[in-house]
A and B are shown apart, each in its own frame.
Chain A
Amino acid sequence: MDYPSTEMTEDTEEQSGGDGLAKAIDPTRLGPAAPSSAPASAPTVFKIDALTAYYGKSAAVRDVSFDVPGNQVTAIIGPSGCGKSTFIRCLNRMNDVVPNFHTDGAIYFHGIDIQGKDVDPVNVRRQIGMVFQRPNPFPKSIHDNITYGLKMLGMKDDLEGRVERALKRAALWEEVKDRLKDSALALSGGQQQRLCIARAIAIEPEVILLDEPASALDPISTASIEDLMHELKSDYTIVIVTHNMQQAARVADMTAFFSLSEVVDGSRSGVLVEYDRTDKIFTTPGDKRTEDYVTGRFG
């Protein structure tokens, strides 16, 4: 489009009053002012297909299906008891240690069902890391916490460099670089949690799962963890369970809302109610149950 013509542009610059106006213009930007939306071509990292998870006879979650896109933050929200933690622990086979746990359905990670018979859960967990609700650093030094996984996996080349990079990536390096030999247990809660994140990313997984990572932390630490996720998603795929839906709103690109089903055989299980872009879930949710939950009118 030619108009306004170039002579106008020159006039603009002459007449522009005040520095603020002149330097703020980027003519190429249409300025979306919308959240980083899932580009149509984001690759799918997880494809969850009709997953039902049982403890013994009762189903904790029932018939869950959705896709998790790569290099995005996907949040799972919902009231307590709707199987969010059970679900996320399926993604890295952590539920294997629970007796009487079994599943129906499939979880495809790069097209491979991670619950398949010939899939080694140890390998799964090396690609899909997890950070827990309460920080759980090993009772070793800060340095050794990080090298534990590295040494185990034979990633011993440039060990110190890897430790430094992991701690920098987790925004902890500056605070601990002079005391790497100190016990990890001497750190504050927020620092411990960042250490756990550094420990997880040191072994270079593809995915990081976070199960209510900030619920045991104070607001300042929570904010720094949230900012961290914003930074990390450029290199990792992040899935986070949170009971704090404001946190999901702030942090996530995609949000999955779980809730409790109707009573079936005397019990209720968690079901996926709605899965969509976060700004849609929080501005115009499609399902009334979602609306009730995010507006806080959930009974």
Chain B
Amino acid sequence: MHTKKFVFEMLALLVIMSMALTSCAPATEAPVATAAPATEMPATEAPATEMPATEAPATEAPATEAPVGEIDPALIEAAQAEGTLTTIALPPDWCNYGEVIETFKSKYGLEVNELNPDAGSGDEVEAIKANKDNKGPQAPDVIDVGFAFGPSSQAEGLLMPYKVSTWDTIPDDAKDPEGYWYGDYYGVLSFLVNTDVQPDVPQDWTDLLDPKYNGQVALSGDPRTSNQAIQSVFAAALANGGSLDDAQPGLDFFADLNAAGNLVPLIANNGLVATGETPVRITWDYNALSAIDSFEGNPKAEVVIPASGRFGGVYVQAISAYAPHPNAAKLWMEFLYSDEGQLLWMKGYCHPIREADLRERGVIPEDLLAKLPDVSGAVFPTVEQLDAAKVLITENWDAVVGADVQAAP
């Protein structure tokens, strides 16, 4: 009994000490932000007005040209005074965010507080709402969400407008004219294939229906809730006689795929691709490419951009209207939209939104260009088209494709 009491006391002491030690530094409260005006440096090139062209023009301009736009030093100071940036839903392997964040930290000396790296877009918006009165480290300053969430969050009054210095080089249909949200990168839906298990790599959507892929094809999410999965269905529509205004053929395609027994009802991730349980995974090309890097040859794998039905998905950045560190948030945006930030994303195989501009000025290193797959002909839906397709797909998935619920044994 004495031993036990002693042990409990020691444990209690340990707990109290740890709490005391870990609570030495209370979160710094955001000082009154000296609003640094967004400096709009005139763009030195004609802004691209359509979605980034994917053909690379010959690089004649010298690579030593000064980057478009410059960051106001007053902004940097104000941000450093705030000291921290709180991000959410930025996994390190997604678009090379790991390196992006580390570079930002070392370049400006700020801390970055990374919340829930695996949150979905809905979670990010909910986090802003829940933290409206909170100036603590749980409140996200900036969000990176699916395209449809930009306008909807703006409508709910959750965003703060800001135009980065390179604003004009962002294509018009990828940004809100008032600066509430702006596209950051895009990718194209592709097939990640474990070639050890399935050496016969499908080249297009219709190939997936072949019997040799029986029990091998999987989506990367639940089509009733996941952006990636819904857009996969939408993409299949394009290859199956549909269009950006008609996603129904996509549902029909997956119904056929399921009926043929080729569709595995699992949410594929890289572990499952590696074990061979879902050797063909439908996912964004940047995810597929970084997966291959992480496999390091075991298993051997390939990425295929389907021959038809090339579907581009855009994500958007925004600053929370309730951000505890607004200047740090603005500096973060400046960094992301600078050449450096955009190229870091490219390193993660994402197509940065300013790609056309970067290509024109020839600032993209050759080896980086060589790694990116050819995504010419990719189409990008508008928000209205996305919303319409989303409603169609989420409501009809169960009925059309038919979730196979086995009865109790």
A binds B: no
- B residues apposed to A, CB below 8 Å: none
